[in-house]
Chain A
Amino acid sequence: MARRPDPPAARGTAPPRQSDPPAAARRIAAPGDVPGARIAPGRARAPRIAPGDATAPRVSRRAALRAGGAALAATLFVPSLASAATDEGGLLLGLWQREMAASLAYDRIAHLEPLYVTLRGHEADHAAAIATALAAVGLGTPREPKWAGELDVSAERLARATDTKTALAHAVALEEELVALYRNAVPALPDAKIAMTAATILASHSQHLLILQRQTDRG
């Protein structure tokens, strides 16, 4: 497994900006936003000299060699870090959003069945754990969703359920999606500790699914 980029300390660990989620999202996609990168892409560029330009500063072979070496190092080093950071951060952000949505959805139907209170708490715990992982890769926590309309389709359906049977069906569908989501996510997470945390969350959703399916069978 590739070594993790350096901790985000060098880039600052500003507290999450609750009022500005798009900024956090933009930080994920910023191509130069590479944690731990020690070679600034701009410094890897060789000096430009027009052919035959006598006024241009003379560039020694040594300087050219140095610039070339730096450019090669940047090619070898920076893209892999950028790719890993962007992929992992984006993946974690998606998991956080799904967990927050699930927690809000269970909160909206908690009056229908005591089990949903437990599930609401578990999803909130999962979201908190993923927020910690987000911080570990240098990303803040986006603004929490507050309305059903802000949720993914499955969570929104669950949040809008008004009777026990419908809620149960939508809860099963939601947990099936979450199990599948984590089964895909765990192999893609490069950090061992984050992957292990995601693995325990997968186990949790698998248990939720089994419990809900048994309720469906009984109903």
Chain B
Amino acid sequence: MVTRRALFGAGALTLLAGCGRQEEPEVDTGKFLAEQLRATQLVAAAYAGVAGQGRVNAAKRVDRLEAALRDAGGTPGTAPSGPAGVEAALAAEQAALRAHVAAVGQLGAAPYRVLLTGLIADAAAGESALLTTLKRPPAPSAFPGQPV
């Protein structure tokens, strides 16, 4: 026979068990970092033949992401090849910026957010620099990188 006291005790324990932090949804950190890395590798590849510091800057971002991916237990993939040139670099920077902003919503841990804010600042500046080269308005949006 189950007493009322036992039922109450079980209810109290259930309540307490539900009072802690909610379980975070499972996030495959390695997969997210690999996606950020791939997007940034495409940026670096697209700067081939483009004058300025863009390629060096993108290569540094690739290094940071490779290190973060290794720290997370992943293995950086081979750099993908893609189109090169100013327009291609602009498209790649914009795509990478959108990917970094989206990742902020998925990776809540502070070290990843810190990594992403650095990538966002650099990708956004790269976008502006390329827009200037193309003689277009260098800051066409108040919210660069927002999901399309």
Q: Residues of A with Cβ closer than 8 Å to B?
A: 1-3, 62, 65-66, 69, 72-73, 76-77, 80, 118-119, 121-122, 125-126, 129, 179, 182-183, 186-188, 190, 192-193, 195-197, 199-204, 206-211, 214
B148 at the interface (CB under 8 A from A): no
Given A192-B104, A202-B121, A203-B124, 10 additional A-B pairs, CB 8 A: A62-B5, A66-B8, A69-B16, A186-B117, A196-B104, A196-B146, A199-B117, A206-B122, A206-B125, A210-B129
Residues of B near A121 (CB, < 8 A) are 142
Do A201 and B120 touch across chains, with their CB atoms under 8 A apart? no
Interface of B is mostly: helix
Q: Which of B59-79 contact A (CB under 8 A)?
A: none
- Asked if B12 contacts A65 (CB within 8 A), the reply is yes
Does B6 lie at the interface of the complex (its beta carbon under 8 Å from any beta carbon of A)?
A: no
Stretch at the interface among B28-36, B38-46, B81-89, B95-103: B95-103
The interface residues of chain B lying within 8 Å CB-to-CB of A73 are: 15-16, 19
Q: Which residues of A contact B12 (CB under 8 A)?
A: 65-66, 69
CA distance A199 to B120 in the complex (A): 7
Interface string of B137-148 (1 = CB under 8 A from A): 111011111100
Instruction: Tell me if B108 and A209 are in contact (CB < 8 A).
Output: no
Known: A122-B139, A207-B128. A186 touches B105 (CB 8 A): no
User: Which among B15, B106, B139 is the interface contact of A207 at CB below 8 angstroms?
Assistant: B139
What 1/0 mask marks residues of chain B from 9 to 20 whose CB sits below 8 Å from any chain A CB? Answer: 100100110011
